[in-house]
Amino acid sequence: MLSYFGIVPHGHILDIPNGVLGMFFYTYTIIRYFIIRKLKQKLKRLNSVVNHKDNDKKLKPNILFASSVNMIISSLAIASSLFLGRKLWILKELCVVCVSTHIINTTLWMRAIDELAPQNLTSSTVNPNVKGVTLHKVPPKKKQ
């Protein structure tokens, strides 16, 4: 795909076919899912044993970094989907496999955006049952 844009010459080692890029992306997504799930489980387990603020300082940057990298990679995948979808539109072709891949890429991209949302990075969403966690709820009004 890089040779199409003139970034590298055709046949260059960096001129990786789109299918190979897709295999890398989906393999990365699956592996990342299990790693992040393990990190969140570890954080949850640690929060139930000791003070959550110390654990948040240690593990939250790892989760934030992984989420940021995922957002960048998912954005590249959605950009590729938009480019290839436009090509199909111009050719007036309907490829069911391609359309389903574009839907999957869009879903992964939207999940990456949701993962970086501020409410998903606060300690109150990690384990709200731990003592000392501020949930930022509005206190009920007193009856007069």
pLDDT in tens, 114-132: 888 765 555 444 444 444 4
Q: What is the pTM of this model?
A: 0.66
For the chain, give every domain's residue range: 18-126
Closest CA to 26 of 63, 93, 80, 82: 80
In whole angstroms, what is the distance from residue 33 CA to residue 130 CA? Answer: 25
* Percent of the chain as helix, strand, coil, to the nearest 5: 70, 0, 30
pLDDT truncated to tens, each residue of the chain (144 aa)? 777 778 888 888 888 888 888 899 999 999 888 887 777 777 777 666 665 555 556 667 777 787 888 899 999 999 989 988 898 899 998 889 889 999 999 999 998 888 887 655 554 444 444 444 444 455 566 666
In whole angstroms, what is the distance from residue 44 CA to residue 56 CA? Answer: 10
Residues 6 or more apart in contact with residue 2 via CB below 8 angstroms: 8, 12, 14, 15, 16
Residues 6 or more apart in contact with residue 37 via CB below 8 angstroms: none
